[in-house]
Amino acid sequence: MTDTAIDVPTPVLAEPRTRVSATLSDDAQLIAACRRGEARAMEMLYHQFKRRVFGMAHRIVGPNDAEEVAQEVFVRVFRGLAAFRGDSALSTWIYRLTVNASLSHLARRGRRQEVGDETLADVPAAPEVSRDPGLAARIERALVELPPGYRAILVLHDVEGLSHEECAAILECRVGTCKSQLHKARARMRELLGPIGGPPQ
């Protein structure tokens, strides 16, 4: 997206810094420092959220466009922090931006992400928790086949481990809607995956 822009070296700027160095221990301080344009705070915020933002974007839009979407999200975060009023938690707001940017990216592209060899090669080996060693790759492949809305709820709840309340706040829907969407999304995934052969109960 910005490959051409990268070639131009960014001039080093003197950065604003408060006289008393903030501890940046909580969201409010981090947000305030970012609003003042403190590079250290902005980088901290980036590192705090980069994995989840990139991971969500990766699993919703696919590997080819994930970086572009994640960059767009962070630019929106830093540009929008001045207007962030703290109605929701900072994380909820950032994840909402991520999901919305990913879904609009898919809508713009107007096509489902194709899964090729390149995609599967990008998937790191799953940790040894599953009985089926190929399950992670199969799940990633099935995720891409899901409708984007189902993908979003599965990524938020099951992959990222967020609660139904957090998912509802991110997706701006009711908790009940969130639960029923998750149920449908899992049912669709099971259809796509076929028998998984989970542990006997």
Partner 1 sequence: MTCDDVRPQLTAYLDGELEGDRGSAVRGHLRGCAACRTASNDEAALRDGLRALPTLDAPSGMWAKIQTQLADAEIADSEKPRWRRVLARWSPQHWVTPRLALASGALAVIFCVSAWRYTHRDHELPQTALVLPQLPTLPAPATNNGDVATEIAALPKTTSDSYAAAADELVKLATESRASWSDSQQKQFDAKVAELQHDIATADEGRPRQRAYRTLIRYLQRAATRDEVAFADTRGTP
Q: Which two tokens stand for residue 26?
A: 């909580």
- Residue 26 to residue 86: CA distance in whole angstroms: 13
Nearer to partner 1, 110 or 200 (CB): 200
User: Taking Cα atoms as reference points, which of 20, 81, 18, 69 lies closest to residue 45?
Assistant: 81
Q: How far is the CB of 20 from partner 1 (least distance, A)?
A: 25
Binding mask 36-75 for partner 1 (x = CB under 8 A): -------x--x---xx-xxx--xx------xx--xx--xx
State the CB neighbour count (10 A cutoff) for residue 152. 25
- For residue 147, state whether it binds partner 1 (rule: CB under 8 A): no
Binding site for partner 1 (CB under 8 A): 1-2, 5-6, 8, 10, 43, 46, 50-51, 53-55, 58-59, 66-67, 70-71, 74-75, 78-79, 82-85, 123-127, 129-132, 135-136, 139-140, 154, 158-159, 161, 179, 182-183, 186, 189-190, 193, 195-201
